[in-house]
Amino acid sequence: MDNTGLDFSFNMEGLDRNTLLREAAKRLDILGAPLGETDSMLPETPEGRLARELMGDTVEFAHEPTVYKISDKDFLSRTLAVPIRFTQLTRIYNFYWVYFPIILFPKRGWGFKGLEVGIEFEADKPDAHIQPKVHHILPEKKFQTILEIKGHIELRLDENLQFELQDQMLEANIGLASGKLEGRVNAKVAGGLGTVLGPFIYSMKRAKIDHTTPEVKKVFWRINGKEFFQDDDVPLIVIVKVPKEAKAVKVAAAMHAYRSFSYANAGFQEAVLQLPSRLRDFFHSGLPVEKRTSWDITPWL
């Protein structure tokens, strides 16, 4: 999933999160037990109990992605002329708005401090010229500063089918804006999917956004910063262009969510320092929760 040096911060290959937490919990119980206790007599310590509760963390891609084909009718329905550039682009490609909803369920009231998500599109044939390409994405780091100030931005798709600010004066006035971000992460398209051209409101919590570059068949986001809690919506949107020769497209998705280990109490943090290095590394890396899935989006093309 790498085309600008971005990849998952922790390698979960061959690892099972619950197995690691189960082992850590037992070792934490042993560390906190009175001398002379045997395995069968070990009482559960607060540290061991917390490690077991963390096994309830869950991240999910909510359901299949929402796929909407962008066509001439999106312009015509708004009594707009179809841009020449759009006509040129669509001679070779079909363009789709694809929204990937995710569900976060962190246990014990802690949020996740960061998310990493990789999405890859694959055509039915291996030929390079038939492969779909990521054309544009949200969130995009060029809007990060405005999102930090306002908490939301009003966007539209331009004639190149790239996201731009509805009011370009926002960029000029950014230094004059102020305010504290509040509210949930959400994405709303005014009037339904038939008006994906915008304007629509895109909202997101304060976060540091990084991502790979477009025009390849993969995209990878790294979103760190303010905590993401249960029921938060992290709106991941891709404008993907699919060569008209492609008759079928599949999507593979992978996600890691990371805890903030510093939120644990001092006793727990000290106890973790006594664990074997592989378990210490796992805790200090944010106890990543992994989810992988795939879809065949051909029926929506």
For 132-158, write each residue's pLDDT tens digit.
999 999 999 988 888 888 878 888 888
Counting residues of the chain whose pLDDT is more than 90, the rounded percentage is 39
Looking at the structure of the chain, the number of domains it has is: 1
Lowest-confidence pick of 34-38, 181-185, 253-257:
181-185
Q: What is the pLDDT of residues 89-123, one digit of tens each?
A: 899 999 999 999 888 887 766 678 889 999 999 99
Model confidence at 232: pLDDT above 80: no
Q: What is the pLDDT of residue 168?
A: 55
DSSP string, 48-86: HHHHHHGGG-EEEE-SSPEEEEE-HHHHHTTT-PPPHHH
Model confidence at 180: pLDDT above 70: no
* Structural domain contains residue 53: no
Model confidence at 193: pLDDT above 80: no
- Bond before 65 cis per omega within 30 degrees: no
Q: Are 300 and 67 in contact (CB under 8 A)?
A: yes
* Structural domain contains residue 137: yes
* Structural domain contains residue 186: yes
Expressed as residue numbers, the domain containing 201 is 61-263+291-300
* Structural domain contains residue 46: no
Q: What's the whole-model pTM score? A: 0.83
- The one-letter amino acid code at 76 reads L
* Structural domain contains residue 249: yes
